[in-house]
Amino acid sequence: MTMLPAQPSKKKLGLVIDLDTCVGCHACAVSCKEWNSGGHAAPLTDTNPYGKEPDGVWFNRIPTFEVSQPELGPTAGQTVHMPRSCLHCESPECVTVCPTGASYKRAEDGIVLVDEEKCIGCKLCSWACPYGAREYDTDAGVMKKCTLCVDRIYNENLDESERQPSCVTTCPAGARHFGDLGDADSAVSKLVDERDGFNLMDAIGYQPTNKYLPPRPKSGPGSSYRPLKIDQQETTDSRFLKWIDRLFSR
Amino acid sequence: MHPALSVIIFTTASGTGYGLLVLLILLNINGLLPTSSGLGLAGFGVGLTLVTAGLLASTFHLGHPERAWRALSQWRSSWLSREGVVAIATYPAVGLFAIAWVFTGNTSGSWSLVGIVAALLAGATVACTGMIYASLKTIPQWHNFLTPTNYLLLALTGGAVWLMVIANFFSVGGNLPALLSLILLPLAWALKQAYWAYIDKVPSQHTIGSATGLGALGDVNLLEPPHTEPNFVQKEMGFKIARRHAKKLRKTALFLAFILPLALTAGVLVTSGTLNTLLALLALLSVSAGLLTERWLFFAEATHVSMLYYGGAKAQ
């Protein structure tokens, strides 16, 4: 049923992604692809993977943005890697536009899924998603999307530490966190509070569950970043080095 | 947005078909078209063929057309589902009225009620088509009231030109069908101009800064895309026509869909015999080609906010 749950789910499982620590290594995307090629939404079809124009379904895409502050100087600013996947929104119109009931939001934990047996492949849900999170599988003729690793997080065959989305367990920088954002006392909710986590494209009103933690400023006001300058390297208190300096300055 | 041929054919053919059915029924129950079996057979034959051909074409872009029946289930939330339900409900209503017209020659009394229901359902189907697009907050050009009104008026206009040709063939209705085209064509023209004027200055609510949430930190630009080859989202949502091509195509659409058919329709009013029929047929050809161009542009000029993550500066 593509009507949203009558009551918003109490439990809101989702991700918190730290843009300050993400190093843009794409390990989350690769790990996601690997797990999901055998998981709930398998296979994640690739077409022409080793050819000239490879294409295929991925649930994570990681663009890198440049944030410049020309008013602070030509080099002021920073690069920000932004891992993007389905945000499991609270009012996702990708679900409500679905004519068949294939797209649905789970009442118990808020995860947005596609029932591939019901999907007719009309692609309207991908048009309704502002985040470009849904990708059509041309081989299977159905829409695919991030499942929040629904086949891992409740999987009792896995060790408890492994019951997290694949992208989270893989991230070498610890930039991805998984938890219940509906519980104000959860570790992820506290992290969002402490770091002023934000929603992507908030104005469109889909109320994403996933949150992003802003990168700390690398220049300008509020920046704690103090790069060692060349002229700082030349000053030294060491008598020995000063003597060497005089010796070679003659 | 990628202009898919199947959807362009579907919306233009079905729209025109529904427009023709609405006009046939409403003119007839108001006594402005005779209940002759030839006119009924041709009118409903053409109308239902256009509608059915369009609906069938729409299934061609589906990954699983054999599951299309499932699309009738979610009418409570989905405009696409509503469109399917109303389109199917239109068939028996139009069918009953057509049978009464063609086989009994009597469309008065309670039959006219069936006719009104049929016309309302046919109109509602076109309105649902428009709402599929207008309901998408992700596409600023479509998310407004001009989208469904354009769909409705263009459907009626296409239908009016078809009606002119058919009525002309059976020599019924006098000048009325041509006059109807003469009124609807300029109205549809004005509304299309209003739509284009709107999308040329639609305020861009979303920017790369608001999409990424990084706007407060500075000027945001895409430094590196996530991958080297375009993915599904870019192929489907990233199609964008160059502004200079759009200008030319708008002129082409205006000329073929409105200006030329208007001149030809005026000619229909003042001529008779073979020339009259020829002019009506040319008007139909022109309006059909014009509507196809207009519909292609409807998609090609629409932009999707997700492209902001792929380097678009603003969604417009």
């220049």: which residue's tokens?
Answer: A219
Contact call for A136 and B236, based on CB within 8 A: yes
DSSP state of A198: B
Distance in angstroms (rounded) separating the CA atoms of residues A89 and A185: 20
Got the DSSP string for A143-155? EE---TTHHHHT-
Residue A129 has pLDDT above 60, yes or no: yes
Arithmetic mean of pLDDT, A77-84 = 95
Distance in angstroms (rounded) separating the CA atoms of residues A4 and A98: 11
Write down the pLDDT at residue A1.
58
Whether chain B has a CB inside 8 Å of the CB on A222: the answer is no
Distance in angstroms (rounded) separating the CA atoms of residues A101 and A117: 10
SS3 annotation, chain B: CCCCHHHHHHHHHHHHHHHHHHHHHHHHHCCCCCCCHHHHHHHHHHHHHHHHHHHHHHHCCCCCHHHHHHHHCCCCCCHHHHHHHHHHHHHHHHHHHHHHHHHHCCCCCHHHHHHHHHHHHHHHHHHHHHHHHHCCCCCCCCCCCHHHHHHHHHHHHHHHHHHHHHHHHHCCCCCHHHHHHHHHHHHHHHHHHHHHHHHHCCCCCCEHHHHHCCHHHCEEEEEECCCCCCCHHHHHHCCCCCHHHHHHHHHHHHHHHHHHHHHHHHHHHHCCHHHHHHHHHHHHHHHHHHHHHHHHHHHHCCCCHHHHHHCCCECC
Measuring CA to CA, which residue among B187, B185, B150, B180 is closest to residue B12? B150
| Band (A42; pLDDT cuts 50, 70, 90) | confident
Write down the pLDDT at residue A229.
63
Write down the pLDDT at residue B315.
47
Closest residue of B to A216, CA-based? B217
Write down the pLDDT at residue B27.
97
Nearest residue, CB atoms, B226 vs list A61, A130, A141: A61
Whether chain B has a CB inside 8 Å of the CB on A217: the answer is yes
Contact call for B137 and A205, based on CB within 8 A: yes
Measuring CA to CA, which residue among B235, B306, B225, B305 is closest to residue A29? B225
- Residue pair A111/A120 in contact (Cβ under 8 Å)? The answer is no
Write down the pLDDT at residue A234.
59
Residue B51 phi, psi dihedral angles, 5° rounding: -60, -45
Nearest residue, CB atoms, B76 vs list A3, A69, A135: A3
- Residue pair A150/A166 in contact (Cβ under 8 Å)? The answer is no
Residue A69 has pLDDT above 80, yes or no: yes
Distance in angstroms (rounded) separating the CA atoms of residues A38 and A36: 5
A167, two tokens: 């992208």
Cis peptide before A92 (omega within 30 of 0): no
Write down the pLDDT at residue A158.
94
Distance in angstroms (rounded) separating the CA atoms of residues B151 and A198: 38
Whether chain A has a CB inside 8 Å of the CB on B213: the answer is yes
Per-residue pLDDT of chain B (316 residues; tens, 9 = 90+): 999 999 999 999 999 999 999 999 999 999 999 999 999 999 999 999 999 999 999 998 899 999 999 999 999 999 999 999 999 999 999 999 999 999 999 999 999 999 999 999 999 999 999 999 999 999 999 999 999 999 999 999 999 999 999 999 999 988 999 999 999 999 999 999 999 999 998 877 899 999 999 999 999 999 999 998 999 999 999 988 877 899 999 999 999 999 999 999 999 999 888 899 999 999 999 999 999 999 999 999 999 999 999 987 654 4
SS3 annotation, B227-291: CCCCCHHHHHHCCCCCHHHHHHHHHHHHHHHHHHHHHHHHHHHHCCHHHHHHHHHHHHHHHHHHH
Arithmetic mean of pLDDT, A18-28 = 96
Contact call for A135 and B227, based on CB within 8 A: no
* Interior/surface letters B55-91, b for 16+ CB within 10 angstroms, e for the rest: bbbbbeebbbeebbebbbbbbebbbbbbbbbbbebbb
B window 153-182, beta carbon within 8 A of A: none
* pLDDT tens string A132-155: 999 999 999 999 999 999 999 999
Distance in angstroms (rounded) separating the CA atoms of residues B154 and B14: 11
Contact residues, chain B, for A77 at CB < 8 Å: 217-219
Contact residues, chain B, for A57 at CB < 8 Å: 232
A window 153-212, beta carbon within 8 A of B: 198-205, 212
Write down the pLDDT at residue A228.
65
Distance in angstroms (rounded) separating the CA atoms of residues B115 and B40: 13
Closest residue of B to A123, CA-based? B62
Contact residues, chain B, for A212 at CB < 8 Å: 213
Measuring CA to CA, which residue among A37, A130, A245, A121 is closest to residue B306? A130
Distance in angstroms (rounded) separating the CA atoms of residues B275 and B268: 8
Report helix, strand or coil for A45. Answer: coil
Dihedral-angle region of residue A48 (phi above 0 means left; psi in -120 to 50 means alpha; beta otherwise) = left
Q: What is the mean pLDDT of chain A?
A: 91
Write down the pLDDT at residue B316.
41
